[in-house]
Amino acid sequence: GAGVSQSPSNKVTEKGKDVELRCDPISGHTALYWYRQSLGQGLEFLIYFQGNSAPDKSGLPSDRFSAERTGGSVSTLTIQRTQQEDSAVYLCASSLVGGLAKNIQYFGAGTRLSVL
């Protein structure tokens, strides 16, 4: 039982570089979510994975953002050609699907991304 794990905890990068953020969900949780928390926009949904279904990418702000989930477990959020407005805390959450606990999302501690 460990909780949702995210790495790195903090990431500083230069404008124009690519970054990868990792999320390791709670074992057995088939649903995985990415959110972005920024000062101006609050908490925004980015992308949702559920089992083997096609992900819901409706929250991704631009085509520079992509995410994948390998083997139904670990997920990576990739931001290409980072911009200063990408600076934010990126939060990952996971949940069960089905049963009484299906509507509870458990969050990681996030990755704070700073783009210089």
Partner 1 sequence: AQTVTQSQPEMSVQEAETVTLSCTYDTSESDYYLFWYKQPPSRQMILVIRQEAYKQQNATENRFSVNFQKAAKSFSLKISDSQLGDAAMYFCAYRSATGANSKLTFGKGITLSVRP
Q: Which residues bind partner 1 (CB under 8 A)?
A: 3, 31, 33, 35, 42-43, 45, 48, 50, 53, 56, 58-59, 89, 91, 93, 95, 102-110, 112
String of DSSP letters for the chain: ----EEE-SEEEE-TT--EEEEEEPPTT--EEEEEEEETTTEEEEEEEEETTSPPB-TT--STTEEEEEGGGS-EEEEE-S--GGG-EEEEEEEE-SSSTTTT--EE---EEEEE-
Smallest separation (angstroms) from partner 1 to the CB of 79: 19
Smallest separation (angstroms) from partner 1 to the CB of 48: 5
Q: Judged by CB, which is closer to partner 1: 3, or 16? A: 3
Q: Judged by CB, which is closer to partner 1: 14, or 100? A: 100
Smallest separation (angstroms) from partner 1 to the CB of 84: 21
